[in-house]
Amino acid sequence: MNRVLLAASLLSLVGCATTEIETTETNSEPQAETPQSSEAEQIAQLQRDLEEARQQAQEAKKQAEEQEEQRRQAQAERRRRGPEFGAVDDSTRRITGETIGDIFAPLDLPTANEMRLGSGAPGTEWWQQRCDYIIDARLDPESRRLEATMKVTYHNNSPHDLDYVWLQLEQNLFKPDSLGTLSRTPGSVMSTDLGAFDGGYTIPYIRSAGSDLDFSIYDTLARVDLDEPIGSGETFEFELAFGFNMPPHLRRMGAEDVEQGTIFEYAQWFPHVTKYDDVNGWNTLPYIGNGEFYTDFGDYEVSITVPRGFLVEGTGVLQNPEEVLSSETIARLDDARQSDTTVLIVTPEEVGTGSYHPEGAEDLTWAFSARDVRTFAFATSNAFIWDACTANITELGGTERAVLCQSFYPKEAEAWYWNREWLPNKPGGSTQYIKHSIEFYSDWLYPYPYQEMSNINGAEGGMEYPGIIFCGAKTNDAGLFGVTDHEVGHNWYPMLVNTDERRYMWMDEGFNSFINMYSNADYYGEMRFRRGGAQRLTPVMNSETAQASNTPADRHWPRWVGTLNYSKPAWALYLLREVVLGPERFDTAWKSYTHRWAYKHPQPADFFRSMEDASGTDLAWFWRGWFLSAAKLDQGIAEVSAIDENRAGITLVNEGDMVMPVMMEITYDDESTERIDLPVQIWGAANTWRVPVKTDGKAITKVVLDPNEMYPEITRKNNIWESESNSEESAEQ
């Protein structure tokens, strides 16, 4: 064997460790060279080579040990001096199976096209359907049954031919065998027991051009088969008749008996064409309860016949006041159209007398007309007090316009501040609250799109429709303002910006709850939410049943519907405005989104893209954390140490799978404080970050993350660090 190879083999076996090789002793006297002595010489040489290799290995080991000792000493010195600054190498740390940096990865959004641009704006190939309705309805208050006929004109603006039309039959929710009834759970918004109630529609016919159309009913949907397809660019007209009994109050509509009569509120009351769009085709999600609606814009001509003595208010504008109102009542209404203060149209003393009608005895038909609205709702009662005033707004072109603000309520509501001023030098009552909300949102967001806005006090706690809202507030002034302002705000989201409420409830409830915060502050002069209000989000965010806000409304855990669709998205947008982007940058982007999508129907991707485009900011981490996942936020302080007399280092950690900018307050031994804010990008590479602090000879006694408690931290225990001396003083106190 080659001597070098033999030595290498031996070294590999002994692992560079000291090894003794036994050899046969030989006489010290020289002997004649023989083949045997030649072999012995080779072995001796091999032994010398091995010894040399052993010495080299020992030297290498010694050098390695010295280097390791130097490394340990250097590490100890660094610890003594304080931490290095910037991202800390913690690449082995994982957050829910991904490195924390993946939170910043681009979102997997639908591919942009000329319908929906990458900028988040509608494109040059934008299209949307339109549906116009003419409805003639009659209500029998005694039986609480409504019967109606309806003519529908459907405009197919899509590039597709349509072989059939789907209708939403939302009153079928109240049938005993409906999906909503059978899947109802305690705590859901539709949890009332229907008992023996005979609910749902009767539909005697659906016909077109005098010929009956075949239709099949599937729970809250009906498929209408057509003799010929509706071609692209064509219109299709059909008629139908329907009737139903007013269900016991559940949600969104109902009847309430009051001292002087009965209040009827009607919403989602007529069969309507399901929305057909570029994303889902026919949107045939059933009406189960939580998810509201997603419809096309259209024009409505609606006539409602009721007994004399009943007032009727609905979406749009009353077209025949002379036929249903007395001349004195009309004169009062005209006065209200010119008044900033509230004017009584029907007084408490007139309720039930019929003096507000023209003379006669027959039933009265109230005719309403509405343009470019997504649905129609109405209320009627023989117990209504009616008052009104005017809001003043500025249109996009700069012209001034008046909006009639109205309230309809029973005399019991006087005790609930419906027509009372309660703040010193501050107009109060429902109608003045409407006025404030319309003027505030019109100035901030987009001019109010309708001519009138009415608030109805009845069985429904709070629901919104174009130009009319239902508000059951029976508590106090603040409760009335809060519900009124919220429901009025919905006339921007989703009545103007027409989102899919069944799939993306947060895009109207969350957006609206967000803008309500600022309207509230404008009215009261301050933000009326307490310090640490964000912590109200932590129970759901820390729950094992937590879901993303982007989950469809009817698939939310009932306990968390409000938090995931109202509170959490609203607070997220508040933080986006106040912490991440700043008010000016945010408002520019928010108004851009609102104006781009007014009278159109955006998807979540359009909102995300539009906000990023108009603000010039990559917000993938924000959308992912707040809307697209059930992420948890948990920032903490790992270490605070002095470097020298004038410097210190603070080590921060992100223990959760949500990232946010850092807001940190430092207190020194002279009781002075310093605020340090760090951008969210510090978490882009690792979830540990070391911050340098110039102390100027002062000692740090306390460090607090998120000092104003704006974040929904899973735990706040690791948000505070105190020096030992400061901790002892605090304990003594």
Q: What is the DSSP string of 329-363?
A: HHHHHHHHTT-SS-EEEE-GGGTTT-TTSPS-SS-
Q: Helical H runs in 82-121?
A: none
Three-class HEC string of 381-446: ECCCEEEEEEEEEECCCCCEEEEEEEEEECHHHHHHCCCCCCECCECCCHHHHHHHHHHHHHHHCC
Phi first, then psi, for residue 652 (nearest 5°) are -105, 150
* Same-domain status, 147 and 168: yes
In a domain, 32, yes or no: no
How far apart CA 426 and CA 610 sit, in angstroms, is 38
Neighbours of 358 (CB within 10 A): 15
In a domain, 175, yes or no: yes
Q: Considering the domain boundaries, does residue 55 fall inside one?
A: yes
Least confident of 68-82, 131-145, 336-350, 436-450: 68-82
Q: Which two tokens stand for residue 616?
A: 């010039």
Mean pLDDT of 106-131: 98
277 and 198, same domain (yes or no) = yes
Q: How far is CA 235 from CA 158, 225, 287, in A?
A: 11, 15, 27
- Burial of 531 (C-beta count, 10 Å sphere; 0-12/13-18/19+): exposed
CB atoms within 10 A of CB 545: 10
216-220, 246-250, 617-621, 658-662: which has the minimum mean pLDDT?
Answer: 246-250
Lowest-pLDDT range, 100-104, 123-127, 221-225, 468-472?
Answer: 100-104
Q: Are residues 607 and 550 in the same domain?
A: yes
pLDDT band at 13 (very low <50, low <70, confident <90, very high): very low
Residue 56 has pLDDT above 70, yes or no: yes
DSSP string, 214-226: -EEEETTEEEEEE
Indicate if 268 and 153 belong to the same structural domain. yes
Residue bearing the bigger pLDDT, 155 or 20:
155
Q: Are residues 454 and 475 in the same domain?
A: yes
Tokens (6 digits) for 206: 């659906």
In a domain, 112, yes or no: no
- pLDDT digits 0-9 by tens, 613-639: 999 999 999 999 999 999 999 999 999
Check residue 192 and give its pLDDT.
Answer: 55
CA distances to 27, 34, 45 from 30, rounded to whole Å, are 8, 12, 17
Distance CA 378, CA 482 (A): 22
Angle at which helices 506-524 and 568-575 cross, to 10°: 60
Report which residue type is found at 63.
Q
pLDDT of residue 29: 40
386 assigned to some structural domain:
yes
Return the bridge partners of 221, or none: 168, 218
Is the residue at 586 inside a domain? yes
Mean of pLDDT values over 44-63: 78
**480 shares its domain with 351:** yes
> Three-state DSSP class for 145?
strand
Q: Give the single-character DSSP code of 118.
A: T
- Shared domain for 400 and 466, answered yes or no, is yes
Q: How far apart are CA 234 and CA 697, in angstroms?
A: 80
Confidence of residue 194 (pLDDT cuts 50, 70, 90): low
- Whether residue 597 sits in one domain with residue 487: no
**Cis ω before 552 (30° cut-off from 0):** no
Strand order in the sheet with 385-394: 343-346, 385-394, 400-409, 452-456, 468-471, 462-465
Q: What is the mean pLDDT of residues 156-175?
A: 96
Residue predicted with more confidence, 401 or 729: 401
Please tell me whether residues 493 and 504 are part of one structural domain: no
Q: Does a structural domain hold residue 464?
A: yes
Mean per-residue pLDDT of the chain? 88
The residue with tokens 């033999």 is: 6
Are 618 and 678 in a shared domain? no
Residues 436 and 505 in one domain: no
CATH number at residue 598: 1.10.390.10
* Polymer length in residues for the chain: 733
Look at residues 497, 531, 551 and tell me which one is the last residue of a structural domain.
497
- Between CA 255 and CA 247 the distance in angstroms is 8
How many domains is the chain partitioned into structurally? 5
322's tokens = 């002379």
Whole-number percent of the chain with pLDDT over 70: 85
Pairing label, strands 385-394, 700-705: unpaired
Q: What is the span of the domain harbouring residue 353?
A: 325-365+376-497
pLDDT reading at 246 higher than 60: yes
Q: What is the helix (H) or strand (E) element at residue 639, kind and residue range?
A: strand 635-644
Domain boundary among 275, 296, 317: 296
Using CB atoms within 10 Å of the CB of residue 555, give its burial: 0 to 12 exposed, 13 to 18 middle, 19+ buried. exposed
What lies within 8 Å, CB to CB, of 335 at 6+ separation is: 343
pLDDT at 681 over 50: yes
Q: pLDDT grade, residue 250 (50/70/90)?
A: low
Residue type, 645: E
Cα angle for residues 261, 266, 271 (degrees, 5° grid) = 150
Contact present, 372 and 599 (Cβ < 8 Å): yes
Checking DSSP bridges between strand 462-465 and strand 468-471, what pairing results, if any?
A: antiparallel
Same domain, 649 and 508: no
3-state secondary structure of 467: coil
What is the DSSP secondary structure assignment for residue 104, as one 8-state letter? G
- In 5-125 the beta strands, taken as DSSP E runs, fall at 86-87
In the block, which residue shows the tokens 């001019």? 447
Q: Which of the listed residues 252, 278, 296 is the one where a domain comes to its end?
A: 296
